[in-house]
Chain A
C-alpha cells in the first residue's frame, strides 16, 4: 500500500465523476465556465493518472486500490493493469472526440454533459473493478446513463429504442445477478481473485472428462460452469453479441450522433474487457471454444443484417455487431497472440467506428435524411468529412496501410487453423460490400431536394466556427490513429504486449508478417469480392431483396425469445 500506486487508480476512476459534478454546476453558470473546465479537468486528470501509472505497469505490476483500506476479499478492490490502461486510453480518445463533436451538433444543456460524464465514470468502474458484485453496480450505472443519452433527442423513436434497451439490459443483468449469486454460494466470496482460487480447488475435485479436439480438459465444476455461463450471457448482452444484440441497432440509430460514436466506439467494448478480466483469472476452456464459434456467427449475422439496411446509421450499428465478432473470436481462441489480437482490434474498431459515426452522423444530420439509396454527391459540400469517412470506411473494409487491415491480419494469425475463421472471411467480403454501398452517398450528383435543404441551412456547422474547428480536430486525431495503426502495426503491437505482460515476462516476439504477399492477396480478394457484391446490392434486384429482408426485423418479443435461446445455448455449452 503506497500512495504513489493508489493515487493514479483513484484519479482514473473519479476524474469523470468530478467532471460530472462540475458540469451539473453549469445549470447555474454559462457553459464556458462549467462545461469546458469539466472536460479539461477530466482530460487532464485522466491523462496524468495514466502517465503516472505507466512505469509500474511496464514492469508488469498492476496498481490496486482497496476501498477504505479493506483488502480483498473483505472490501472492494479496484485495479489498473495493462489491459485497463490501454482500454482507458482508447476511451479517452473516443470520448474526447465525441465531446468535441457534441459542441458542433447542437447546444446541449448541462444535464447532457452530466450524463455523458456519468457514462464515462461507470465505464471506468467497469474497467477497474475486481469485484463481481461491484461490476454489476457499474453495469447498472452505465446502462441507465446510456439510456438517457440515447433518448436525449426525445423523439418517439429514440424513446422507444431507449425503453427497449432498458428492458433487454434489465433482463441481461438478471442473468448476471443469478450467476453472481451461484458463485457466492459456491465460494463465499465476491472478489474475483478469491473466487478464482476457490473454484480451482472445486474443479480439482472433478474428474476430467471433457475433450476439446483430442486434448483432455479439466472439467469445470458444473454449478460454477452454469454461473459463469449466466454471467457471460449478461456481459455479452452489453457487448451486443447475437443473439443478445437486438437492442443495439435501434439504440445507436436513435442516439444523437456524438453519443452513437461513444456507444459504438467504446461502450460495447468495455463489457468485453470485463469478460477478459474475469476469464484471465478463471479457466473455462469449453466456454472459450464456444465463444470462438459465437464470434464467427456474430460477424456473419451482423454483416448480413447490415448489408440490407437503408438507414445509414442503422447500417453502421449492425456493423458494430459484426465487428464485435472478430474481437470475440480472437478473445475466445486465447493465448498471447489471440488476446493481443482482440485488444488490437478493440482499439482499431473503436477508432474507425467512432470516426464513421461522427462523419456519417454529421452529414446526415445536415442533409436531413439517412436514406443510403437517396443521398448522393455530398463530396462537394463536405470535403473534410468525405476524406475522414473514406479513411474510416477503407479501414473497416480492410484496405492495407490502415487500422482494419492490420487488425484483420492479427486476428487471422490467431485463428488461421480454426474452422470458424471461414465465417470471418465471409464477413470481411460483406463488410467491404456494405461500405462501398455507403460510400455512394458522397459521390454522384446531389438531387435538387437535398441541395435545397443544404443551402437553406448555414454554410458550416450549426454551432460557432470554433465548435466546427474543434469537431474537425477530433476527427483528425482519430484518422491519424487509424493510419498509425496501419503503418506501424509492429510498434503498436509490441507496446500492447509490453503493457499486457510487463517488461520481464514479455513473450518471445512472433513473426506476424504484416505486409506479406499472403495478407495482401487476402485483402485484395476480399475487397474485390466486396465490390462485386456491392454492385449486386445497388442493382434493382438487390434493392428489392434488401427491402424484403428488412421486413423480417425482430420485435421486442422476438428479441427476448432470442435472448432466452442464447442463454440456453450458453448453459448447454457450459455443461458439455
Chain B
C-alpha cells in the first residue's frame, strides 16, 4: 500500500516537472534549419533518392558505424555469455530434456515456400536502401527472420557458425575499408562519393551507399542469425561445436 502510494507520488512529481515541455515544445511548423539543408542539398550532393538513407549512411555515417559496432559486440557477447562450460550448473540441469518434436507438415512446407521469398525480400530491402524506405538494418532483420523460420521448421537444421562469422567479420572489415577509401579518394571518412553518383533514382546510383548498405545488411543479418543460433543450441550441440 505504502509502496503504491510512493509510486503515485513519484509519477505525479515527474508529471509536474515535465509540464514545461508541454508548454514550450510546439509542434514543428517548418523544418529545422539542419533538416531543411539536408532536404535541399542532399539529393544533389549524394544522389540518393531516399533522403533518410543519405543522412544515416553519409552525413551521420559515424553513428551508423557505431551502431553496427554495438550490434557486433552484443552478438559476440551473447555468444560468449551463453556458452556454457562443463562446471556451470544451472537450475534444471540433470533433468532429462524432451527431445524436440518435428515441426508440423504445414510449417515444414510453408517454410520451404517462404524461405526463398523472405531472403529475396531482405536482399531487395538493403539493395534498394538508397531508393525506397528501408536499408541495411531492416533488410538484415528480414534475412535473420528467414533463418529463424528455417530453424523453427527443421529440428535437424545445423547452422554453420564458421561461414556466418566469416561473412560477419568480412562485411565489417569492408565497411571500415570503404570508410578509409573515402578518406583517400573523396572528402573524408565514409564519404560515399568514391564512386560516381550515377543517374538519380536508378539502382546503380548514390556512389558507395548501396555497397555500404549491402554490407550493413549482410552484417546485421548474419549477426542476428548468430544470436538466434546461439540461443537455440542445446548443451550437447555446443559440446559438438567446441
Contact = CB atoms under 8 A, between A and B. Distances in A.
Contact of A223 (B25, B73, B183): B25
B100 interface: no
A154 interface: yes
Interface size classification for chain B:
35 or more
B73 A138 contact: no
Given A141-B73, A145-B73, A134 B20 contact: no
A152 B69 CA distance: 19
A70 B66 contact: no
26 contacts: A17-B176, A67-B61, A67-B189, A68-B182, A68-B190, A70-B59, A76-B60, A134-B60, A137-B66, A137-B70, A140-B66, A140-B67, A147-B77, A148-B77, A148-B81, A154-B85, A185-B25, A187-B32, A189-B33, A194-B34, A222-B20, A222-B24, A223-B20, A226-B18, A568-B10, A571-B17
B169 interface: yes
Given A148-B80, A188-B35, A222-B20, 4 more contacts: A125-B66, A148-B73, A154-B81, A575-B17
B185 interface: no
A58 interface: no
A69 interface: yes
A185 B13 CA distance: 23
A21 interface: yes
Contacts of B189: 10, 67-68
Find the residue from B61, B70, B74, B169 having the highest chain A CB count within 10 A.
Answer: B70
A118 interface: yes
Contacts of A269: none
B77 A67 contact: no
A68 B80 contact: no
Interface in A70-106: 70, 73-76, 78
B58 interface: yes
Interface in B181-199: 182-183, 186-191
Contact of A69 (B81, B173, B187): B187
A73 B191 contact: no
Interface in B67-123: 67, 69-70, 73-74, 76-77, 80-81, 85
Interface secondary structure of B, over-half rule: helix
Contacts of A10: 183, 189
A206 to B, nearest CB: 11
Contact of A144 (B17, B62, B73, B188): B73
Find the residue from A190, A222, A572 having the highest chain B CB count within 10 A.
Answer: A222
Interface string A340-380: 00000000000000000000000000000000000000000
B157 interface: no
Find the residue from A137, A182, A187 having the highest chain B CB count within 10 A.
Answer: A137
Contacts of A115: 73, 76
A226 B73 contact: no
A547 to B, nearest CB: 28
A24 B169 contact: yes
Given A10-B183, A69-B191, A137-B63, A186 B73 contact: no
Contacts of B200: none
Nearest to A189: B34
Nearest to A159: B81
